[in-house]
Amino acid sequence: MKKWIGLSTVFAAVLAGSYYGMGVMTERTLKKNINILNQSDGVTVTLQHYHRGWFHSHADLKWTLQVPKKPDAQQNSVKSADALDKIYYIDIPLDIFHGPMIFSDSKLWFGFGYAHSNVVLPEVYEQQFQAVYDKNSTIPPLNISVFVNYLAKTTIQLNIPSFKLIAKAGKSKFKWMGMQVTINVSANKKHLQGNLLVKGFTWFHEGMKGIHGPVNSDFDLSLREDNLYLGTAHLNLPSLVLLKGQQQVLSLIDAHLTSTSDIKDGLYNTALSANINRASFQNRQYGPSSLEISVRNLDAVTLSKMNTKLNESSNYSDRDRQGVLLSLIPDLPALLCKGAQLKMSHLELNLPEGKLNAAINIELPNEQISNPFQLLQKINGEGKITVSPAVLTHWLQQPIRQKIVTKLKSELAAPSGPLVVVPQANVPAQNIEAQVIAKTAEKIQELISLGVLTQVGSDYVLNLKFSNGKLFVNDHPFTSSMLVI
């Protein structure tokens, strides 16, 4: 019996000590994460107070967010203190529960620690909120929880419940259905995995109404030593509708985006695929449509350096940002000289008039190039564009119609003196349409005779070829006259 009592006493002492020890580790981890956050531009986190208990601790964090104003064209840089438009302060209280066993929020957790916070709008901002929105509006809440397991993997959960905003001035309204975000961060902070769910929102402003359905997104990314994120990301948008009064202006149904990226043998590759089941704009129906495009064989080291320069210029003035872009031109040969490839393997558009299909592949040779302006002379590749007759006719008719109308107005104007603007009613509409149809047919035959188009079955085809920087259309050298309508 004494043996069991002794073992129980030892176990209880070890368990109690583990709670305190994990509390110490949790405090150190929090301070380490704050130091990482403070490396970000425009964000400063200050640990104002930390009380460590045996089983439970409490921390008070003050977040300072600096929002730069729009850069002035005369400014050389916006990094000075007087260039900051506004500074926002947000106090976040953090309740921290120590492991190894945690009971919080009606759940049992096993890990180093669990933290939870309900972020409320500071009083000064609440007064501004009440000045802009009426009493039926609700202040947007934010719930944050952080859990660290025994492998030091951190799970961050953000929850913004439903709220609504009704402006005092005008009749603007916004209704938020809710959002949930989960982010998993590895112990070394180099692997991010998570998902986002926006349950939807609606808004109304000056007769326009938007209805946004749920949005689902997930990602799995890894941070390399060269500060490039690699992995996959998905975005699903089931529905989006824009109304003016009772009339539908825009709709988007079942849109899906997928992006991937990796590095093999020091070369960066990325790909994007997009699918839209159905869309409409101004009573014109589109879809289904799809796209697959990729960029391959970019030098990863050079890309990382260029990416760092671009990130550093995010708060620069427009003039300085343009200077940064120009400074990247000498790096282009190093970025592209290892066989860079741009490939659009698939493009299918279902338009109201018919279909368009396209594919294109452009490559640069794997050879050293020092002059960035020599890159254009090294381009090789091929492509193919196929359009239905109705699509081609529709595209050509618009500029031809405008040209005919302009000519008729000039002819109907006074022969001398200033040009008289003739009402549209005086222009014979039937005659115009007859001319448009005839001129369009003539233009299509002209393009065929010039070799710009070839007819395959009922469709028209453009075969493109890039050879040492020169473009050929259906084996004919491209000239600007091919674009004249």
pLDDT digits (tens, 9 = 90+) for 225-271: 778 889 999 999 999 999 998 899 999 999 999 999 999 999 999 99
pLDDT of residue 80: 44
54-63, 103-112, 286-295, 458-467, range with the lowest pLDDT: 103-112
Query: pLDDT tens-digit profile of 419-450?
Result: 545 454 455 666 788 888 999 999 999 888 88
127-166 exposure pattern, b = at least 16 Cβ within 10 A, e = fewer: eeeeeebeeebeebebebbbbbbeeebbbebbebeebbbb
Which residues are 44's β-sheet partners? 64
What pLDDT, on the 0 to 100 scale, is given for residue 415?
58
Is residue 99 predicted with pLDDT exceeding 60?
yes
Domain extent listing, the chain: 210-378, 389-483
DSSP 206-228: TTEEEEE--EEEEEEEEE-TTS-
Q: Which helix (H) or strand (E) holds 430?
A: helix 429-449
Give dist(CA 163, CA 59) in Å, integer.
28
For residue 68, name the pLDDT band (cuts at 50, 70, 90): low
pLDDT tier at 360, thresholds 50, 70, 90: very high
Q: Which of 143, 219, 126, 129 is nearest to 178 (CA)?
A: 143
Q: What is the dihedral of CA 237, 238, 244, 247, to 10 degrees?
A: 150
Could you tell me the two tokens for 51?
């009380």
Instruction: Please give the pLDDT value at position 13.
Output: 52
Q: What is the chain's alpha carbon radius of gyration, rounded to the nearest angstrom?
A: 31
Could you tell me where the DSSP H helices lie in 79-238?
A: 123-132
Confidence band for 166, pLDDT divided at 50, 70 and 90: very high
> How far is the C-alpha of 160 from the C-alpha of 176, rounded, in Å?
9
Please give the residue that has the higher pLDDT: either 321 or 423: 321
Single-letter residue type at 364: L
Query: What is the tens place of the pLDDT at every residue in 187-208?
Result: 888 898 999 999 999 999 888 9
Span 332-359, average pLDDT: 95
The owner of tokens 């050079």 is 302
Cis previous bond, 428, omega within 30? no
Share the mean pLDDT of the chain. 84
CA distance 92 to 264: 43
Q: What is the pTM of this model?
A: 0.81
Q: Per-residue confidence at 57, pLDDT binned at 50, 70, 90?
A: confident
